[in-house]
Amino acid sequence: MSKTILVVDDASSMRGLIGMTLKSAGYNVVEACDGRDAICKIELQPVNMMISDLNMPNMNGIELVKTLKTSAKYKFLPIVMLTTESEESKKQEGQQAGAKAWIVKPFKPETVLKVVKKIIG
């Protein structure tokens, strides 16, 4: 059974690009347009991992990570941040919130796949 990854980004083109990359490697993909949408989708569809943007309306990526990590159900869900933010302070904030990895946009598809394979196989 292939693993499912939730891709959260307010840009539909970015969700499409990440989704296409993951699907081509055999993963199932669920898309969400912001943190609130992600919480709704994850309740309906169990996922093995999440890739989230940082800067989004309604609920940003750090708020999303913090919200999920307070739930026993999602405490161990691996979450990767995929964002234009490259400041060390933002990376530390993400790590403290519970993000497992940080990928800076623009990214190479093979970089995303390498991180995903390392985390969930």
CB 120 within 8 Å of CB 84: no
Cis check: omega of the bond before 78, within 30 degrees of 0: no
**pLDDT for res 1:** 66
Helices and strands (DSSP H and E) totals, the chain: 5, 5
- φ/ψ of residue 99, rounded to 5: -70, 140
Mean pLDDT of 47-74: 96
pLDDT, tens digit, for every residue of 76-107?
A: 999 999 999 899 999 999 999 999 999 999 99
Amino acid at 99: A
CB 9 within 8 Å of CB 56: yes
CATH class of 4-120: alpha beta
